[in-house]
Amino acid sequence: MNFSIVIHDTAEAFARREDPSQRAALFAPLGAYLKALSDAGVFVGGAGLEAPATATVLSQSGNAWQVQDGPFADTKEQLAGVIIIDVPGRSSALEWVRRFPMLPGRKLELRANLVPRQE
Amino acid sequence: MTEAARRAIERTARESYGRLLAFVAARSRDIIAAEDALADAFHAALETWPRDGVPDKPEAWLLTAARRRLIDAARRAQVRHAASDELQHALELAQQGADEPEMFPDERLKLLFACAHPAIDAAARTPLMLQTVLGLDATRIASAFLVKPATMGQRLSRAKTKIRDAGITFEVPRMEGLPERLDAVLEAIYAAYGSGWEDVAGADPRRKGLAVEALELGALLVHLLPDEAEALGLSALMLYCESRRNARRGRHGEYMPLSEQDVALWSRPMIEQADRLLRKAERMGRLGRFQIEAAIQSAHAQRARTGNIDWESIALLYEGLVRITPTVGAQVGRAAAIAQARTAQGGWALLQQIPKQAVAGYQPYWALAAHLLDRMSRGDEAHDARERAIGLCEDAAMRTYLIRQQG
């Protein structure tokens, strides 16, 4: 059963990525976490995302595209990445979530991936 | 006056909720109805105590009020369904001695056994005890066990419905059934302690409270079953662990392995209390898993007196533990003790005997593997194992500690 761990970070956390002295401390635990996921045969896919300011937001009004600078939502925490895991159920998904390296203000959202409904 | 009444209600709720609920539920065999009745009784107290003053015997007052609600509810139900035998029975039970409940027996042991009944989903047993015996709310229990509050709420109400509908009796099992039922009770209490213990950094002060509540449940069990060696063993085990709470982190919040903790920060009174409980348990001559685990912790506690750790004894105790309960945790513990007492190779050989599938997500295995591989000068493999241990960490301080070792 596939679940998505959706990562939301604060502006401070995004800023840390640009600080060479903090980068290693930020990414070493994540690298180990991803290794643990794949060694356990749980990792399906995923990506970290560049800063929200780099986003392009597209929508349609009638048939015309509207293009704006991102991010889409003006919230304190911004989407920072997503990891998809394949586990037997929600409780084992939660076991993996609790191993996720946390930062101040970081929020994780666990959601089951959508499965096509059988009619 | 109003303030005093409110405080009295809060105190009674905190100190007596479990006793009151157990007493009412043991008679109605229906935790849900008992909870509703008790909630009504507390609600009535909030209305009348500030006006009329706090009664001399607050517990007895609440008990009488709760039983009246139960009787009323049973009567209403009777009108609806034309008196079934079962309801009649419930009504009679509720009425028994309803007039003068000044002294009521402690029925919490029965409640504990009902919560740990084999028919109850094992995952619901600990939460059910925390809610019914200690009166914790579902949201808090959900956070402690890291499940959705809604899911926890459903799990708890399913378990209570099961107790009622399956007619699970509120009784302490007889001798032949006692050991396995007691095991479930002990496991559930230990699970509560475990979920409070992991949160050492105190990121969530409410979870730290859960360890305290587990200790309370453990002490309650010893009080109610003073002749059960394993109940004593569990209490001793939790006390040894709890005695080190303040030593588990360094000055800057860094992780401190047990063997490097400053023994001056260990709580002597807790260790002494644990020693007493363990000695008493050992005299009963019925060895069990919790007593062995407590004995292992006792051996570590000796360091406060002797300055060193008797790894040979610890290895021997783990050997016994693996024989009784061959869990992955016990096997990893034994390998670590053997590596300390004898050689890294000896520990490594034991580690290799554990099936790979069982350790895929078990962090202590990989941390120990990294340590032993380092000692055997197999650097690359050590690096790989430690990377995995870091990835499986749930605790930030432990993660930082391992990352620093990784260099």
- Would you kindly state where each structural domain of chain A is located, as residue ranges? 2-59+68-112
Q: Which of these ranges, A11-20, A72-81, B164-173, B237-246, has the smallest mean pLDDT?
A: B164-173
Nearest neighbour of A39 by CB, restricted to B388, B393, B399: B388
Do B146 and B235 fall within a single domain? yes
SS3 A72: coil
Mean pLDDT of chain A: 93
Find the mean pLDDT for residues B210-217. Answer: 86
Per-residue model confidence (pLDDT) at position B94: 55
Residue B110, chain A, CB below 8 Å: the answer is: no
Per-residue model confidence (pLDDT) at position B84: 62
Do B91 and B131 fall within a single domain? no
pLDDT(B80) > 70:
no
pLDDT(B314) > 90:
yes
Residues spanned by the domain of B129:
108-168+176-245
Residue B358, chain A, CB below 8 Å: the answer is: no
Q: Please indicate, yes or no, if residue B129 is contained in any of the structural domains.
A: yes
Do B18 and B56 fall within a single domain? yes
Q: Please indicate, yes or no, if residue B53 is contained in any of the structural domains.
A: yes
pLDDT(B207) > 50:
no
Find the mean pLDDT for residues B33-49. Answer: 92
Per-residue model confidence (pLDDT) at position B224: 87
Q: Please indicate, yes or no, if residue B130 is contained in any of the structural domains.
A: yes
Q: Please indicate, yes or no, if residue B392 is contained in any of the structural domains.
A: no
Do B131 and B207 fall within a single domain? yes
Q: Render the burial of B7-37: b for 16+ CB within 10 Å, e for the rest.
A: ebbeebbeebbbbbbbbbbbbbbbbebbbeb
**Chain-centre distance for alpha carbon A102:** 12
Is B388 within 8 Å of A95 when comparing Cβ atoms? Answer: no
CA–CA dist B122, B162 (Å, integer): 13
Q: Please indicate, yes or no, if residue B213 is contained in any of the structural domains.
A: yes
Q: What are B354-379's pLDDT values in tens digits?
A: 998 899 889 999 999 999 999 999 99
Domain count, chain B: 2
Q: Which of these ranges, A75-84, B165-174, B287-296, B373-382, has the smallest mean pLDDT?
A: B165-174
pTM of the predicted model as reported, rounded to 2 decimal places: 0.85
Per-residue model confidence (pLDDT) at position B292: 97
* CA-based nearest residue in chain B for residue A111: B148
State the count of interchain CB pairs (< 8 A) between A and B.
47
Classify domain A2-59+68-112 at the CATH topology level.
Answer: Alpha-Beta Plaits (3.30.70)
Per-residue model confidence (pLDDT) at position B301: 96
Question: ipTM of the assembly?
Answer: 0.88
CA–CA dist B68, A28 (Å, integer): 62
